[in-house]
């Protein structure tokens, strides 16, 4: 990554400033001072339920407004998307899933060219689990890796940390080291 890279940290936890956010701040501390960082707490950007109208004969997706338009623009403006998501029931949290569902609509807006504009960007994942077996995060990581592959993005890696109670992640030296090296 170059020093002028723009990083969008997408925080999806139901708990603000939880273990996953602490892990992300530690990772971001290794970025060059000239790297642009934007932090977006997805619960602060509520989206209505996503309606899949891809095959509807009389409806089409329209250019977004409001919160959706802001999320779209911030997504397109970033060079590197960092999903900061604790593992919830072996998957991504609801706000993150809804945000990703909207990508389906954005890909169908001809003036946006979402898929083409996402190609070449990078995507990373920072997650925490409350299980001694970190492999339980595989479905979350794999879903985001497959998303990156589908859009021809570079999957830049994932860090899976242990963090059940507040502050636990700070006592996981293996994960803290991996997070500190994620953007190297």
For residue 59, the model assigns a pLDDT of 86
CA separation for the pair 13, 19 (Å, rounded): 9
Q: How confident is the model at residue 2 (pLDDT cuts 50, 70, 90)?
A: very low
What pLDDT score was predicted for residue 3?
52
How many Å apart are CA 8 and CA 10, to the nearest integer?
A: 6
Q: Indicate if the pLDDT at residue 58 is higher than 90.
A: no
pLDDT value for 86? 97
> How many CB atoms within 10 Å of residue 55?
6
What is the phi/psi pair of residue 162, to 5°?
Answer: -95, 125
Q: Where are the domains of the chain?
A: 6-47+61-181
Q: What dotted CATH number matches 6-47+61-181? A: 3.40.50.360
Q: What is the pLDDT of residues 125-136, one digit of tens each?
A: 999 999 889 999
DSSP label at 117? H
What's the rounded Cα separation, in Å, for the pair 180 and 111?
Answer: 38
Report residue 62's pLDDT band, with 50, 70 and 90 as the boundaries.
Answer: very high
Check pLDDT > 60 for residue 40: yes
Q: Considering the chain, what is the average pLDDT of its residues? A: 95
pTM: 0.95
Per-residue pLDDT band at 110 (split at 50, 70, 90): very high
| Contact by Cβ (8 Å): 150, 144 | no
């Amino acid at each position: 990554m170059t020093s002028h890279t723009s990083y969008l940290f997408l925080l999806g936890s139901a708990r603000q400033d939880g273990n996953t956010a602490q892990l992300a701040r530690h990772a971001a501390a290794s970025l060059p001072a000239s790297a642009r960082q934007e932090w977006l707490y997805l619960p602060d950007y509520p989206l209505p339920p996503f309606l899949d109208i891809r095959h509807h004969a009389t409806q089409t997706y329209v250019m977004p407004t409001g919160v959706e338009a802001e999320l779209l623009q911030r997504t397109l403006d970033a060079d590197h998307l960092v999903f900061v998501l604790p593992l919830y029931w072996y998957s991504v949290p609801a706000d993150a899933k809804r945000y990703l569902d909207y990508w389906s609509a954005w890909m169908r807006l001809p003036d946006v060219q979402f898929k083409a504009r996402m190609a070449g960007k990078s995507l990373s994942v920072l997650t925490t689990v409350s299980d001694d077996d970190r492999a339980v995060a595989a479905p979350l990581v794999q879903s985001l890796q497959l998303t990156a592959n589908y859009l021809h993005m570079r999957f830049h890696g994932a860090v899976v940390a242990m963090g059940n109670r507040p502050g636990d992640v700070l006592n996981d030296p293996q994960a803290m080291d991996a997070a500190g090296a994620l953007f190297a």
